[in-house]
Amino acid sequence: MTIQTPLRPGTTKTGSIRSVDADRTAGRRGGTANWPVTVVLVLCALSILVPLYVTLTMAFKTTGQAVDGNAFSLPAPFSVDGFVQAWELTDFPRAFGVSVLVAAITVVGTILLASFTAFAIARNWDRRLFRWSFFYLLAAMFLPFPVLALSQVKLTGLAHLDNPFGVALLHVMFQLSFSVLLFTAFLRSIPAELEESARIDGASTGQVFWRLVFPLLAPMSATVGIFAFLASWNDFVMPSLITSDPALQTLPVLQQMFQTQFSNNYNVSFASYLMAMAPAIIVYLVTQRWVMAGVTQGAIK
């Protein structure tokens, strides 16, 4: 079935087609380019891409090429000796496993606790206790870990949590405030009528959350998970102060050894840095696409 668009008064069919084509052409051309903003964005991109390029080239160079003073030259020939030495010096599989364990506990714990808390606050906002709890969590955002470092080190030692599990627990606690803020804002956009219809059908509060609300939180859960993973994976201060056993340190802490013991082995140092940050870059790229897809699907539904 073909639907014909009615013509405007005084416009022929050919003129109407030309007008539509002209409008489409103008839309594709867009407005005038904002060159100051473009230049700033290009400079910001270069500030990330140039160090990344240097890291890649230095990691694949030999020791002689790494100290020749030309960091921007391509490796000739390519060498993986730096990766082999960094793998052995850092005991990479063990450190990688510890970092993955800490990051996984942080992501799962943050998503679950923050979603529980945000659901309770968003659906009981008219009660004073829940509003005060929300403001209390927001106030905690202004307390960074270095301010509370001494007390946290003391408490984790007394509770025998001076290990990766204690680090993951603290990561969850320090990510909770910002994550609750994001979840609460997202929950306010979900109509309460959906939950009321489920309760009429006999669903309990737990069933409403797990079967109805939590699946709708998938886009925001991915966003919270990205922030929690990056904060946990790249953290240096907290694991270095909390974990008492050097054999259970995470990758960022082990990178410190290359700034002291192996400061002249640039290829080994940059190879270790590249291996440590590669998982974070991969996870960010993959999950960022998933977040955008989830937001689009939610909008269509």
The residue to which tokens 């290009």 are assigned: 42
**pLDDT value of position 299:** 46
H or E element, residue 100: helix 92-123
CB 269 within 8 A of CB 85: no
CB 275 within 8 A of CB 203: no
d(CA 145, CA 151): 10
- Percent of the chain clearing pLDDT 70 (strictly above): 83
CB 115 within 8 A of CB 122: no
H or E element, residue 202: none
Tokens of 55: 């890291």
Q: How many CB atoms neighbour CB 8 within 10 A?
A: 9
Q: How confident is the model at residue 260 (pLDDT cuts 50, 70, 90)?
A: low
pTM given for the model: 0.78
- Please compute the mean of the pLDDT values over residues 224-246 and round it to a whole number: 89
CB 237 within 8 A of CB 146: yes
d(CA 124, CA 23): 49
140-161 per-position pLDDT tens digit: 888 888 888 888 888 998 998 9
Letter for the amino acid at 70?
A: N
Q: Is the pLDDT of residue 228 over 70?
A: yes
d(CA 143, CA 173): 12
Q: Is the pLDDT of residue 285 over 50?
A: yes
- Please compute the mean of the pLDDT values over residues 51-55 and round it to a whole number: 88
Q: How confident is the model at residue 298 (pLDDT cuts 50, 70, 90)?
A: very low
Q: CB neighbours of 119 closer than 8 A, spacing ≥ 6?
A: 183, 187, 209, 213
**Which has more pLDDT, 136 or 5?**
136
The residue to which tokens 């009615």 are assigned: 6
Verify cis geometry, omega within 30 degrees of 0, for the bond prior to 279.
no
Q: Is the pLDDT of residue 294 over 80?
A: no
Backbone angles phi, psi at 147, to 5 degrees: -70, -35
Round to the nearest angstrom and report the end-to-end CA distance of the chain: 26
62-82 per-position pLDDT tens digit: 878 777 777 788 888 888 888
- Please compute the mean of the pLDDT values over residues 195-213 and round it to a whole number: 87
d(CA 96, CA 277): 11
**Which of 109, 139, 126 is CA-nearest to residue 231?**
109
d(CA 267, CA 102): 28
CB 16 within 8 A of CB 7: yes
93-145 per-position pLDDT tens digit: 898 999 999 999 999 999 999 999 999 999 899 999 999 999 998 888 888 88
Helix 266-300 to helix 81-89 angle (10° resolution) is 90
